[in-house]
Structure 1
Amino acid sequence: MERTLNFDHWARRELDAVEAALDAWVPADTPAGLGEAMRYGVLDGGKRLRPLLVLAACQALGGAREAALRSAVAVELIHAYSLVHDDMPCMDNDVLRRGKPTVHVKYGEAQAMLAGDAMQALAFEVLTPDAGVEPALQARLVRLLARAAGHAGMAGGQAIDLANTGRLLDEATLREMHRKKTGALLLASVQMGAACGAPDETTWRALSEYGEAIGLAFQVVDDILDCTQGSDKLGKTAGKDLDANKPTYVSVLGMEAARRHAQELRVAAHAALARAGLADAAALAAIADKVVERDN
């Protein structure tokens, strides 16, 4: 691909591939309608940022396409399962996601819990096919995704979030919470794509720094949008964190400082890409800009 990237064209092509794979691999034929709830929770919605990061990183390194596509689907399944569970009454108690009723509202709490469980399991099944992905690469991808989703990543970050509702946090503690809750899976997306291309240590370290900057920038912008956009624009309940008295970058830093921090993180992401020494990081660079410039 040439350095002058038409990002929208590239993203549309890649998103079509991811959507087709999700449609093929998320089953409809399951006991008691479970597949219907799974498909409702993951198909036809969302920005698909994590799959795009996987595919952009793999492309930048000339990596294995089959492994990258499976990684893109797997990371989106983990993300979708986390949203299904986070929206439930025992967690964030939300009724709107991606512009439609949340899974527990449509299918009931028990079915939503099972749908999330099944999507989590399916993610690792997708990563471990009988053929097409080398066993050593399968193991590395599974480890990266499991670590990002578990106690040291997304689940741990959500636990910190729930434990600190109504409390004042300093910026360092807030950063650590979001590094786990949101950032870990975005970082893993970059790393999984990179792993498909067997990078050297310098490139791996630089891409990891890029992923960390993107992960934090995404959450900072999310906090800003929660205060500045309506539910119809966001596709989820606006002002939810404020109403729940949860700490955010806006509540801790203030709106203008939060905006500046998002720009600082964009600069850091581009600097990390420059250090990676990749022949073509145009898609990764464009994603960094899109994350900070988005309005939903």
Structure 2
Amino acid sequence: MTSVNLSSFIEEKKAHLETKLPEYVLRLDAPCQLKDAMLYSLKAGGKRLRPLLLFATLEGFGQNYKSSLPVACALEMIHTYSLIHDDLPAMDDDDFRRGKPTNHKVYGEATAILAGDALLTYAFQIISTMDQIAPTQKLSLITELAKASGPEGMVGGQIADMDGENKGLSLDQLEYIHLHKTGDLLGFSIIAGAILSNAKKQDIKNLREFAKHLGLAFQIKDDILDIEGKEEDLGKPVGSDITNEKSTYPKLLGLVGAKKKLANHISAAKEYLYSVNMKYEKLELIVDYIVNRDH
């Protein structure tokens, strides 16, 4: 599969997702102000990496990605809720996200909090009302997503990140933060595709390890881009991690050491991927896309 085909894959899948996401919100019997705030952040764009990983996993197992659109939308809603809450004054206190004013700057803090709450809870409603999958698959998806996004996953990683601010973290502490704050939701994208494909237990086990290394690689690349990236690509000031005195891989390992760590995680991720009984070419190319991205 060439990079041209990967671009076509990304464009096609993102187009379907961008159409479907607003439909779910617009059908809600909810106050217009709340729906407007939800849609504002959902339509802010982004790489849509998590749904793309879900679609690539499904197709790798020979399944049609369209059947997973509800799960992809639910996943993106949870990711979006986390960004809305991360940007709040009580958290990262950011004024801009992807070059646009953050949700609370447009709708106020109270509405932004509730928009995030709505996206989080609605995500589980969407999965629970899917009628095209078996009840056991539905339960597995809900359990996996709750763990990935909750206290043992993203939320736990977020509070560990807050607790580690302005402190000299060890490499193990930094990896814990990123495995959970970023990695677990990325991992769900892949495991959800395997669940929907009725993959074998050993394949799911190997995909979990693949996802773990991929999640760490994603964060290390983010840390490197904070030093080497361009502000117009990143949508935020370059060097903001240094300004905010955050622990990062380049800070702990140096830029050369961070790049070596990135290469090691990518190598490990691919090793686990190659052991899965599936057509893994699209997932492999998405891994390369993560490593080579400029934002």
2:198 matched residue in structure 1: 198
Unmatched runs of 5 consecutive residues or more in structure 2: none
Residues 206, 273 of structure 2: 8 Å contact kept: yes
Q: Percent identity?
A: 38
2:172 matched residue in structure 1: 172
Q: Verify: 1:40 aligned to 2:40, yes or no.
A: yes
Inter-partner Cα distance in structure 2 for 1:133 and 1:277: 22
2:11 matched residue in structure 1: 12
Q: Verify: 1:96 aligned to 2:96, yes or no.
A: yes
1:275 matched residue in structure 2: 275
Residues 175, 216 of structure 1: 8 Å contact kept: yes
The residue type equivalent to 1:23 in the other structure is P
Inter-partner Cα distance in structure 2 for 1:257 and 1:91: 29
Query: What secondary structure does 1:93 align onto?
Result: coil
Residues 115-146 of structure 1 deviation map (CA, whole Å, 9 limit, x = unaligned): 10000011111112252222211111111111
Q: CA deviation at 1:7?
A: 0.6
Query: What secondary structure does 1:276 align onto?
Result: coil
Q: CA deviation at 1:232?
A: 1.8
Against the structure 1 CA distance between its residues 83 and 199, is the aligned structure 2 distance closer, same or farther, given a 3 Å change threshold? same
Q: How many correspondences in the alignment? A: 293
The residue type equivalent to 1:124 in the other structure is F
Runs of at least 4 residues off by over 3 Å: 63-67
2:23 matched residue in structure 1: 24
TM-score, L = length of structure 2: 0.95
Q: CA deviation at 1:44?
A: 4.3
Q: Counterparts of 1:180-195 in structure 2 under 5 Å?
A: 180-195=180-195
1:285 matched residue in structure 2: 284
Inter-partner Cα distance in structure 1 for 2:80 and 2:202: 32
Q: Verify: 1:231 aligned to 2:219, yes or no.
A: no
Unmatched runs of 5 consecutive residues or more in structure 1: none
Against the structure 1 CA distance between its residues 228 and 126, is the aligned structure 2 distance closer, same or farther, given a 3 Å change threshold? same
- Quick check: 179-188 or 59-68, which moved more? 59-68
Q: CA deviation at 1:64?
A: 6.0
Residues 183, 214 of structure 2: 8 Å contact kept: yes
1:218 matched residue in structure 2: 218
Against the structure 1 CA distance between its residues 217 and 32, is the aligned structure 2 distance closer, same or farther, given a 3 Å change threshold? same
2:83 matched residue in structure 1: 83
- Quick check: 237-246 or 176-185, which moved more? 237-246
Inter-partner Cα distance in structure 2 for 1:98 and 1:181: 19
Query: What secondary structure does 2:46 align onto?
Result: coil
2:150 matched residue in structure 1: 150
Residues 220, 262 of structure 1: 8 Å contact kept: yes
Q: Verify: 1:105 aligned to 2:114, yes or no.
A: no
Q: Verify: 1:241 aligned to 2:241, yes or no.
A: yes
TM-score, L = length of structure 1: 0.94
